Amino acid sequence: MELIVLKNVTCGYGTTVILPRVNFAISRGDFIGVIGPNGGGKTTLIKTLIGLITPLGGTIEKHIKELGIGYMPQSATIDHQFPAKVNDVVFSGLISRKKFFLNKSDKIAAHDIMRRIGITDYADRNIGELSGGELQRVLLARALACNPQILVLDEPTTYIDQKFSKDFFTLLKELNESGLAILMISHDLGTISRHVRKIACVNRAFHLHNSNTITAHQLELYDCPVQLLVHK
């Protein structure tokens, strides 16, 4: 079942085109890894997808009336000095344009996610007191708090330790198998190729490869200068 479809969508800012004529769909149960160089348009693409940027052209069709999209931004974009507690950050994932106040069931659901991610021990701490890995956990919990149909992750494994990386991908696998669609940006092709179902190469153009296996020759064809390392 298709959840959202981009048809000839041009992404950019003002009159500056970053990605022209993007065509692809995200369906229930998809797990798409997005790779490409810095400045190639990866973050611009997902900001357009989740509605932070208005497309310069084309259409975005949502096939579910109240489509929920959970978004985990790069932790480097977060103001670590902002006076917010972990609880507040996670609860903010439940607030939308149509809903400004949280009821008891909302908070129970958020606390359940926090237990699952393993952040209840520091729920009352300010985000400025957290390590990089702890903050990543908080941002993931925030993205999942709204029980989305699509989860969008921008470089989610930055600053996390090896144990949480393993737990993180185990959790994503469970969520994906339950039907959650996942779109994940990463520079680590070797890691994501073990988990995703499809790979999109983004470098001022968009190419979707309907497999988690991609060769150096294909990267060259897609004009996607990502180093491919093979570990035996």
Instruction: Taking residues 26-47, report their average pLDDT.
Output: 93
Q: How does pLDDT run across 57-66, given as a tens digit for each residue?
A: 999 999 888 8
Residue 99 has pLDDT above 60, yes or no: no
> Regarding predicted confidence, which is higher, 198 or 232?
198
How far apart CA 226 and CA 36 sit, in angstroms, is 6
* 1-68+150-155+181-232 placed in CATH 3.40.50.300: yes
> Regarding predicted confidence, which is higher, 204 or 79?
204
The domain spans of the chain are 1-68+150-155+181-232
| Amino acid at residue number 19 | L
Strand partners, 205: none
- Confidence band, pLDDT 50/70/90 cuts, at residue 86: very high
Q: How does pLDDT run across 195-215, given as a tens digit for each residue?
A: 899 999 999 999 998 887 766
Q: How does pLDDT run across 110-132, given as a tens digit for each residue?
A: 889 999 888 999 999 999 898 88
- Confidence band, pLDDT 50/70/90 cuts, at residue 5: very high
Residue 55 is predicted with a pLDDT of 96
- Parallel/antiparallel/unpaired status of strands 181-185 and 150-154: parallel
> Regarding predicted confidence, which is higher, 206 or 82?
206
Q: Which of 135, 41, 85, 227 is nearest to 214 (CA)?
A: 227
The lowest-confidence range among 63-72, 182-191, 203-212 is 182-191
